Amino acid sequence: MQLHQDNDPRDGYTILGHASGEVWINDVRLTASCVVSPRRLIRDWPPQRLEELAPAHLAQLAELDPELVLLGVGARLRFPAPALLQPLLERSIGVEVMDTAAACRTYNLLKGDGRRVVAALMIAAPEG
């Protein structure tokens, strides 16, 4: 799915598209979980699936100083245990949990509005 056609590098990192098991950020195709903010791209973020998510992963996101974290948890919406979100909540950082496709779309909207947004995207290939 094409999300955004403008790929001006001066605008920072933009999610251009996503499909099952992959996401395109600027001109880069990623097939493993990642973290993206307007000025930073972290490839190979460790949790590939929600079951692998740990507080240390969210503490890493807090270090990016966002006002809001979009947590894309894969192809279907599932919620992490509330205790996992503590590293963000302790710093008054908002958290929105959604499927990865919705997180991609929402990231671009918030980035376009100039918000300090971070999208943590779990994009593991589908099983089976």
* Helices assigned H by DSSP within 63-99: 86-89
Q: What is the pLDDT of residue 118?
A: 98
Per-residue pLDDT band for 127 (boundaries 50, 70, 90) equals low
26 versus 124: the higher-pLDDT residue is 26
Confirm whether pTM is higher than 0.95.
no
What percent of the chain has a predicted confidence (pLDDT) above 90? Answer: 84
pLDDT per residue as tens digits for the range 11-69:
799 999 999 899 999 999 999 999 999 999 999 999 999 999 999 999 999 999 999 99
Sequence-ordered list of residues with C-beta below 8 angstroms from that of 112, at least 6 positions apart, any chain? none
For residue 35, the cross-strand partners are 42, 120
